[in-house]
Structure 1
Amino acid sequence: MRLLHTSDWHVGRTFHGADTLDALADALGAIARIVREHAVDAVLVAGDVYDAAMPSGRHVEALTRALQEIRSAGAEIVLSSGNHDSAARLGANAGFARAGGLHLSTRALEPDSWRIELADEHGPVHVFAVPYLEPVSLRSSLPEAGIASQADAMGWAMDAVRASLAHAPARSVVLAHCFAAGVAEPADDAPRDITAGGLDVVPLSRFDGVDYVALGHLHSRQELSRSVRYSGAPLHYSFKERSPLRGGWLVDLDAAGLADVAWVDLPVPRPLVTIEGELDALLDDASLAGTEGAWLRARLTDRLRPLDAMRRLQRRWPHAAEVQWLGGDDAPAIELRARLARRSDAEVVDDFLRHVRAGVGASEAEAALVRDGLARAAAAEAAQ
């Protein structure tokens, strides 16, 4: 059996305010072509199908067309909800969709609903599409399970998966939308603090006992082990996504389990380019010829902040999306940035509290709230 592992489609997401729907439609259309060219049996989408809990009509229509094209190409589709999705809306009419080869998994509290049974000439393949698991929600619904973190939530889920496999042995694949251990740091799109605030990353050992784990949540591809991987998003949605590649993993299962995993590219309609220097010099830099069609981030080193920098950049680079002024040789600003860089975010907050409260810093309870808030912010940033 051949599977195509994808994730984080984020239908409806913009890039610094620019619409990406046409580019995403091209990328998803390429998935249908991959299905035909590589004889893919099932396409996996590991969460964050939409970018918003209430997608617009045009975004629903775009997703519907993409799913129809993939299904017409010959592959079944297994799709789980992510933290950006409304599980209830995405999972509506799941029973009817399953009859047409589209398997929607959105019920976090119902492990029996996660299992999708596929089959090839070697027998059954059980695909467990685990929806996004919110520890707070699970803790209130399952107080006896002792769930306090993402690691606990995925441990509970994987216990259910292994119990199902013990009852009905088969080759197995798990879809999960979470942070997992093994993500290289200090990558921009990886968590800065993998333990603060209870948002600890899920250890790879949680996934023991299955043949392949298709992860979603990070937007750049990652190979955590031979059998545990992130595919990343089909488009670039942030300058923080360090991988220039977009695509998915072709996963081959033979009679014994995982046989091979290979990367397959999706088209990159607009690459990311970062340039740095003084504005006038950049505008006249002949070596930058050919970058005019890219998403552009400019890091300006002018001694004084240039006027109308974005407008001037967009004359040459119509898709300039971000301008950062680095302050040139402004020594006080450079020293301030260096000093702040040496301090953690929690220390910066504590310094601020001491400043506004006449030398009184954060209490232990306040410090815990700060750490939790910063960890949540880091998690949201990492998922971009």
Structure 2
Amino acid sequence: MRFVHTSDWQVGKVFRFADDSTQSVLQDQRLEVIGRIGRLAREHGAQAVVVAGDIYDHEIPVDRTLRQPIERMRQFPDLCWHLIAGNHDPNVPGGIWDRLHAIGLPDNIVAHLDGRPAPMDPAGAAWVIPGGLKRRHVATDPTADMDSAETPAGVIRVGLAHGSVRDFGSDEVQNRIAIDRARRAGLSYLALGDWHGQQRIDERTWYSGTPEIDGFDRGGDGGGHALVVDLAGPNARPEVTSHRVGRFVWHRDSATLTQEQDIAALEHRLRNIDPQEAGHVLVWLSVRGALSLEGLQAYQDMLDALGSALRLLRVDGEPTLLPHADDLDLFGTGAVRAAAAILSERAGEGPEEQRDIATAALRRLALMVGAGDSRKGAAS
């Protein structure tokens, strides 16, 4: 039996830090990745796709959002898609799953809501044993009934659940799953959802992670993938291979800038995250340091360029102005230079608020002088 394991699609997720244009693209790709998962399954000859919860990001999506993932899965009638409810889309009365039942699911989509085992493929060689959630948080183990779940003799038993086998750094753990559930329940494989990064718990227990990375803390732990699982038989060791299906790269970086070489090095580093597809890269950058006025202008030019190249550039902090005698040469002679000298002096001493105001004024003055020089050059 060969199938694809995925989870945590989070369709309808809101990215509050992004502008409207970026938000729209990120939300769209959470749908488009479903097609990439389907094509991955076809390319590898998989018979089914198991989705371990959190198809949706919240419990009350609008009708269009409700239907969109269903329509994406409908486009793959040769694959059987097995779904369970997660903590973001629990099977509560009058909720998402009742609405989907009223609409009617295509024949190739099975929502496992009652906890009963069901055939995973037409031949019945493998059976899904579901452990979906009926509330956002439950005190009991959602996989506990898998131990006694009855399936025909000699079939491959695939558990499908949503919850946490460990805290993953969180102070409060809900929907706790026994870490040895696969062994206890005689499972050939336990497909888990909830953790958005890919995780191997043991040879029979995996988190697939979200197929489209959705945060800057997910870039380094295998998010953006789906798992192709091969099971030669009920007792065979699973062969699990990870395949990238996500479109975006999320990257956190930091830099201390003290000279223009530092700016060039930072730009080179960020442009080479994905040099062929910079528009697929989101960067959260933390900056500190001190630069001359000319250095600050070079830094701003770099931000303007990268902000246009990358899908998103989010910046925390900024280098301060370290006044330099050569900076005044940018202003020529006369009243403008005299004003710049006063601002430069105030930017280098006194209360922080005064320094910030003086620095901003000095940079604006430099931009005005530069624009004037450009116009003169164009006229000549």
- TM-score using structure 1 length: 0.65
> Is 2:147 the partner of 1:162?
yes
- Cα distance 1:301–1:232, how it changes in 2: closer, same or farther (>3 A)? same
> Is 2:163 the partner of 1:178?
yes
> What is the deviation of 1:38?
1.1
Runs of 5+ unmatched residues, structure 2: 321-380
Q: Which has the higher relative contact order, 1 or 2, with Cα contacts under 8 A spaced 6 or more apart?
A: 1
Q: 1:9 maps to which residue?
A: 9
Distance in 2 (CA, whole Å) between partners of 1:271 and 1:93 is 32
Q: 1:146 maps to which residue?
A: none
- Structure 1 window deviating more from structure 2 (39-48 vs 78-87): it is 78-87
Q: 2:268 maps to which residue?
A: 287
Q: 2:82 maps to which residue?
A: 78
Report matched runs for 1:1-384 at 5 Å.
Answer: 1-15=1-15, 16-17=17-18, 18-19=23-24, 20-69=26-75, 71-72=76-77, 74-87=78-91, 88-94=95-101, 100-106=107-113, 110-112=114-116, 115-119=117-121, 123-132=124-133, 134=135, 149=139, 152-154=140-142, 157-158=143-144, 160-165=145-150, 170-181=155-166, 190-193=168-171, 199=174, 201-207=176-182, 208=184, 209-241=186-218, 242-278=220-256, 284-285=264-265, 286-288=267-269, 289-291=271-273, 292-293=278-279, 294-302=281-289, 313=303, 315-318=305-308, 319-325=311-317
Counting aligned pairs with the same residue, the percent is 21
Contact in 2 for aligned 1:14/1:237 (Cα 8 Å): no
> What is the deviation of 1:12?
1.3
- Cα distance 1:62–1:274, how it changes in 2: closer, same or farther (>3 A)? same
- Cα distance 1:259–1:91, how it changes in 2: closer, same or farther (>3 A)? farther
- Structure 1 window deviating more from structure 2 (283-292 vs 241-250): it is 283-292
Supply the RMSD in Å over aligned alpha carbons. Answer: 3.4
Contact in 1 for aligned 2:52/2:86 (Cα 8 Å): yes
Q: 2:330 maps to which residue?
A: none
> What is the deviation of 1:235?
0.7
Distance in 2 (CA, whole Å) between partners of 1:42 and 1:22 is 24
Count of aligned pairs between the two proteins = 292
- Cα distance 1:134–1:245, how it changes in 2: closer, same or farther (>3 A)? closer
- Cα distance 1:244–1:323, how it changes in 2: closer, same or farther (>3 A)? farther
Distance in 2 (CA, whole Å) between partners of 1:85 and 1:60 is 11
- TM-score using structure 2 length: 0.66
- Cα distance 1:58–1:95, how it changes in 2: closer, same or farther (>3 A)? closer
Query: Rg: which structure is higher?
Result: 2
Distance in 2 (CA, whole Å) between partners of 1:215 and 1:166 is 20
> What is the deviation of 1:225?
0.3
CA-to-aligned-CA distance 1:278-311 (integer Å, 9 cap, x gap): 468565444233444310110112369x99x999
Distance in 2 (CA, whole Å) between partners of 1:128 and 1:258 is 18
Find the residue that maps to 2:141 and give its secondary structure.
helix
- Cα distance 1:134–1:215, how it changes in 2: closer, same or farther (>3 A)? same
CA-to-aligned-CA distance 1:225-275 (integer Å, 9 cap, x gap): 000000000111000113255222212223334443222423332212223
Find the residue that maps to 1:302 and give its secondary structure.
strand
Contact in 2 for aligned 1:278/1:302 (Cα 8 Å): yes
Distance in 2 (CA, whole Å) between partners of 1:44 and 1:311 is 47
AA paired with 1:127?
Answer: V
Distance in 2 (CA, whole Å) between partners of 1:230 and 1:220 is 7
Distance in 1 (CA, whole Å) between partners of 2:307 and 2:170 is 32
- Cα distance 1:105–1:326, how it changes in 2: closer, same or farther (>3 A)? farther
AA paired with 2:240?
Answer: A
Distance in 2 (CA, whole Å) between partners of 1:89 and 1:310 is 47
Contact in 2 for aligned 1:180/1:201 (Cα 8 Å): yes
